[in-house]
Amino acid sequence: MSNMTTIYLVRHGQTEWNVKDLLQGVSDSPLTEKGVDEIKKLAKELSKIQFDLIFSSDLLRAKKTAEILALEHNLTVETTKLLRERFFGHLEGKSNDEYRKWAKAFKDLTDKERFSAKISTDIESDEEIVTRLIQFLREIAIGNPGKKILAVSHGGLIKSFLIHLGFATYKEIRMIGNGGYVKLESDGTDFFIKEVKNVNFYEK
């Protein structure tokens, strides 16, 4: 049996704040009817995979998503703050346009510079959120060699992780759609992308 751990990193279903284009961060907004339906559909797509464990961000939108997915596998959901979305500080609950205005200051930075840059002292940088995600992934991979893990997280976090891995640049990748996922294999040190679903790119 392979010692590589397989991890499906999933974005939660659509929420009410997604529809309103508001920054959620660590604030909570319930799944919409559409959000529940798209995760039920994903659950059926993944139903033939024998997951050993299911983890989730402790934020309610992710936990609800994980619980829907867990029903297909008769597993309980374990939550962790390491899978949380970026903390947006004073911009939490504001329009995404507000964040985009601040982010314009990054447009001339290299990807390496942008990764560690902070828009504001109270907003987590990409480096900060990816560091905690990698901590979670490495601990899970080392502790569960050869197993299949489902982990529900958030779009901003997954996007930043893909950029960190070199999958795409800031100018290429737009967002991870609701219910989208990245399938990874890891030995606890390295990460190998095996599949991506519902990852959206900017038009060239």
**Residue-level pLDDT, tens digit, the chain, 204 residues:** 578 999 999 999 999 999 999 999 999 999 999 999 999 999 999 999 999 999 999 999 999 999 999 998 889 999 999 999 999 999 999 999 988 888 888 888 999 999 999 988 999 999 999 999 999 999 999 999 999 999 999 999 999 999 999 999 999 999 999 999 999 999 999 999 999 999 999 986
- Sorted by where each starts, the structural domains of the chain and their CATH numbers stand as 5-201 (3.40.50.1240)
Decide: 115 and 163 in contact? Cβ < 8 Å: yes
The first and second tokens of residue 57, run together, are 């961000």
Of 14, 60, 74, 5, the residue nearest 38 (C-alpha)? 14
pLDDT one-digit tens code per residue, 35-79: 999 999 999 999 999 999 999 999 999 999 999 999 988 899 999
- Choose among 193, 199, 181: nearest CA to 45: 181
d(CA 43, CA 16): 21
Nearest to 65 by CA among 75, 52, 53, 56: 56
pLDDT at position 72 is: 86
DSSP 104: G
Q: Which residues contact 42 (CB under 8 A, 6 or more apart)?
A: 10, 69, 179, 181
CA 1, chain centre distance (Å): 28
* Alpha-carbon Rg for the chain in angstroms: 16
Q: Which residues are catalytic?
A: 12, 85
